[in-house]
């Protein structure tokens, strides 16, 4: 039996508790999070680590959703800095950004061509049209770009206004791609053959390429690599292609890296491989694939890789229980339950199932603190929001936060057992496009 909100119900709901009035005064004056902030966490969760890697200067994605790209390139530049004895070095995010946009446009248009017989108002086409172009991505999408296009130093293709603040460009691309989808579907409805539609699609990609060139500049085909190491030695190599540069100076075999996730929902049994329909950027690139494991397995693999001297790319829900001041990520950083007098009781699986949490941001582990028993209690996080947040751009994550809001780590398969590698390589279960594990790391600063 339903009940409307009546005057009598409003009277019963009225908050007359003195504690409620005190909390109301604090929140109305200072805001919700500022009133609930737990100062004890800031004092106890400090930036010291028993395993700590040395990285170059912090990077800054600014007003763009390229965190996944920044995080991956930060793991790559780590290798260059170490190999060449550099104080600092940065790879061009704008270079891969250009090709990611172009490839995503092609991937979207191909998806439209693959779904011409689906109704425009159906869930699948509506999902495709909801975000034909955004900045976000996944690890395997980054690998596809690097495999195809390589990387270049930042000076070879520097930032532009449109790469650092990408909203206007993404809006223009989104408008154009939705129009392109409309034109393709209309032409098909009017009897156009597949060959005609393919020709139209190529013209559409030409327009996308033109927009990208105007906004980002055209990517270099070759460049001269010039850098000075910490001992004053000058290194020069002329006429390098982006792929040759990656192979020589980064040298990581991306096929060796496996994406592990922790999704404790009933529909995703552990120790199974998963992929997501219609998720990707490079049409002929590698499939986005995950191995779902218990959270302890993610920690074990990440720690092993860092102990061996290499950072770890990861994806998490950065907006939950975190603060820019001091860069703290801890489940107790805010005392909202005590302030509001209500209980927030969903567990990790329930948050995933009901849309309360999913992966939103990618960063890099550059260290971990192990207690006397070898157990992790805090993690060192390299962010890409500049030096202002956290401690000169670094965050500290509690192990409890890892349990609740960590969703993905990428590690070399040599840190996994043969059995786990076989599980990853097994035929993946295909998830629907709107599954939370298909989310893209896209949070802006």
Contacts of 87 (CB under 8 A, 6+ apart): 56, 81, 230
- Judging by DSSP bridges, how do beta strands 394-398 and 328-329 pair with one another? parallel
46 as an active site residue: the answer is no
Sort residue 242 into left (φ over 0), alpha (ψ -120 to 50) or beta.
alpha
Paired sense of beta strands 429-431 and 272-276, if any:
parallel
Q: Which of 60, 67, 281, 321 is catalytic?
A: 67
CA distance 263 to 420: 16
Nearest residue to 440 via CA among 276, 197, 229, 311: 276
Q: Going by C-beta distance under 8 Å and a sequence separation of 6 or more, which residues neighbour residue 191?
A: none
Q: Which residue of the set 38, 60, 74, 361 is catalytic?
A: 361
Beta strands at 272-276 and 290-292: parallel, antiparallel or unpaired: antiparallel
Q: Are 363 and 68 in contact (CB under 8 A)?
A: no
Residue 90: C-alpha distances to residues 58, 74, 135, 141 (Å)? 10, 8, 20, 20
Decide if 100 contacts 141 (C-beta within 8 A). Answer: yes
Has 332 been annotated as catalytic? no
Which DSSP symbol is given to 245? H
| Rounded CA separation 87/228 (Å) | 9
Q: Which residues contact 210 (CB under 8 A, 6 or more apart)?
A: none
Question: Can 383 be counted among the known catalytic residues?
Answer: yes
Tokens for 212, please give them: 């990208």
Which phi and psi angles does 42 have, rounded to 5°? -60, -35
DSSP class of residue 250 equals: I
Question: Which residues have a catalytic role annotated?
Answer: 67, 361, 383
């Amino acid at each position: 039996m339903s009940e409307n909100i009546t005057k009598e119900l409003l009277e019963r709901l009225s908050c007359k508790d003195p504690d409620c009035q005190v909390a109301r005064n604090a929140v109305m004056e200072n805001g919700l999070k500022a009133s609930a902030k737990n100062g004890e966490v800031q004092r106890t969760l400090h930036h010291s680590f028993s395993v700590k890697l040395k990285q170059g200067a912090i990077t800054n994605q600014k007003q763009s959703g390229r965190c996944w790209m920044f995080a991956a390139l930060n793991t790559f530049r780590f290798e260059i800095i170490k190999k060449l004895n550099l104080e600092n070095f940065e790879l061009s995010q704008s270079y891969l950004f250009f090709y990611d946009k172009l490839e995503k446009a092609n991937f979207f248009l191909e998806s439209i061509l693959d779904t011409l017989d689906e109704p425009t108002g159906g869930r699948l086409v509506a999902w495709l049209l909801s975000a034909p172009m955004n900045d976000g991505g996944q690890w395997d999408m980054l690998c596809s770009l690097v495999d195809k296009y390589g990387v270049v130093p930042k000076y070879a293709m520097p930032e532009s206004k449109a790469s650092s603040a990408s909203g206007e460009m993404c809006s223009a691309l989104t408008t154009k791609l939705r129009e392109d989808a409309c034109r393709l579907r209309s032409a098909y409805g009017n009897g156009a053959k597949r060959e005609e539609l393919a020709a139209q699609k190529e013209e559409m990609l030409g327009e996308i390429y033109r927009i990208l060139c105007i906004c980002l500049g055209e990517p270099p085909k070759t460049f001269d690599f010039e850098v000075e190491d910490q001992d004053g030695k000058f290194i020069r190599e002329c006429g390098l292609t982006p792929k040759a540069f990656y192979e020589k100076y980064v040298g990581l075999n991306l096929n060796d890296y496996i994406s592990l996730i922790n999704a404790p929902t009933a529909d995703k049994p552990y120790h199974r491989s998963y992929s997501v329909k219609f998720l990707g950027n490079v049409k002929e690139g590698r499939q986005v694939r995950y191995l779902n494991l218990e959270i302890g397995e993610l920690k074990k693999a990440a720690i092993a890789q860092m102990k061996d001297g290499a950072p770890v790319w990861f994806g998490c829900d950065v907006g939950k229980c975190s603060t820019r001041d001091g860069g703290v990520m801890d489940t107790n950083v805010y005392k909202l339950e005590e302030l509001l007098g209500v209980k927030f009781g969903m567990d990790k699986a329930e948050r995933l199932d009901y849309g309360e949490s999913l992966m939103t941001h990618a960063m890099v582990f550059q260290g971990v603190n192990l207690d006397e028993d070898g157990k992790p209690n805090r993690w060192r996080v390299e962010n890409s929001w500049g030096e202002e947040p956290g401690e000169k751009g670094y965050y500290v994550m509690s192990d409890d936060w890892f349990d609740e809001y960590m969703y993905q780590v990428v590690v070399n398969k040599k840190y996994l057992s043969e059995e786990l590698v076989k599980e990853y390589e097994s035929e993946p279960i295909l998830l629907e496009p709107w599954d939370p594990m298909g989310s893209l790391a896209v949070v802006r600063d």
